[in-house]
Homo-oligomer: A and B are copies of this chain.
Amino acid sequence: MIMSSKLKHFAFSTLLVVTLTGCNTPPDHEHSPMMTEVLASSKPEDWRPLDPESTLYVELASGRVVIELAPAFAPRHVANVKALAREHYYDGLAIVRAQDNYVVQWADPNAEKPELARHPQKAARTLPAEFERTIDPKLPFTRLPDGDVYAPEVGFSGGFPVARDRRSGRMWLIHSYGMIGAGRDQAPDSGGGTELYVVIGHAPRHLDRNATLLGRVVQGMELLSALPRGTGQMGFYEKPQEQVPIRSIRVAADVPESERSALEIMRTDTDTFQRLIESRRNRREAWFQKPAGHIEVCNMPVPVRARAAASAAR
């Protein structure tokens, strides 16, 4: 909502109040739930904790960025990024690029200097592309009902935005805001995870199936998206002192449990998520005059919350 600043307190005092009146929705959508209602009525089983073996922590001076990895879509890249993290390849590298409405990217700032460039030890420098995969009926897929400009079908699988083409039998991750991919050179097999980028603008969907996506930022996105934009070509920082150091990247499983970020993500294969979709297709908050009646995949949020004490103790 684009509330005026005067209304901000009002807006949030009503956030958890259930109201179904005063909204100019078409009759058939009159009983769409509001997002706040869906969240308030969700059950513990509608949420899942992050798997520490599929979670990365990017530690910056400004704080921690939490990434959920997507082994179902990029198994080799995920394994390699974890291997790189475990041999501390990323520690001391830097964010070298911030291109407005596009991506933030980290890499070895000395990649062009043979005598200084860092080399993976056991991990691979490059891997075959994992731009797409075969549709597997065992992978959950919650389809969105309103179509897509780029793909025959779009929806969510395991919390990730996904496109499918049943004719070709292929499915692939979508370049939504916050998605993480592996930078590469011109050859499709020239990436591997030593350089990673994060989408910080309108979804650059033309990159779908042209780069290996391997995860999504689930917390700390603002530490990346609000970085000063680089003034060099393609948003590269022109001066070394503009680069933002990466203190470390760790697999959450390797971090003492007391130092982990205790987060839960809403499951996307549930009736609750279906209700959430409906709440986003037709906004019933009183501010809205004309609910859209549609939702584009990159506008569909997957809620993240602090893990409840009870479930943290499980």
- Seen from chain A, the residues whose Cβ lies within 8 Å of a Cβ on chain B are 1-8, 11-12, 96-98, 100-101, 103, 105, 107-109, 111-112, 129, 131, 146-150, 176-178, 181, 183-186, 188, 190-191, 195, 197, 201-211, 221-222, 225-229, 232-234, 236, 280, 283, 286-292, 294-296, 298-299
Contacts and interface: CB of A to CB of B under 8 A. Distances in A.
B149 A185 contact: no
A201 B177 contact: yes
Copies per complex of this chain: 2
Given A177-B202, A225-B100, A289-B131, A5 B190 contact: no
Given A100-B225, A205-B296, A287 B186 contact: yes
Contact of A185 (B3, B98, B129, B183): B3
A51 to B, nearest CB: 25
Contact of A101 (B6, B185, B205, B225): B225
B100 A234 contact: no
A233 B100 contact: no
A26 to B, nearest CB: 13
Contacts of A185: 3-4, 6-7
Given A5-B195, A98-B226, A205-B299, 5 more contacts: A5-B236, A100-B221, A149-B295, A205-B296, A222-B229
B4 A195 contact: yes
Contact of A289 (B148, B188, B203, B280): B188
A240 to B, nearest CB: 12
Nearest to A194: B4
Contacts of A184: 2-4
B292 A234 contact: no
26 contacts: A2-B211, A3-B234, A4-B107, A5-B236, A8-B233, A8-B236, A12-B233, A12-B234, A98-B226, A100-B225, A101-B225, A131-B289, A149-B294, A149-B295, A176-B202, A186-B287, A188-B289, A203-B299, A204-B299, A206-B280, A206-B283, A206-B292, A206-B295, A206-B299, A210-B287, A222-B229
Interface centre among A202, A228, A283 (most CB of B within 10 A): A202
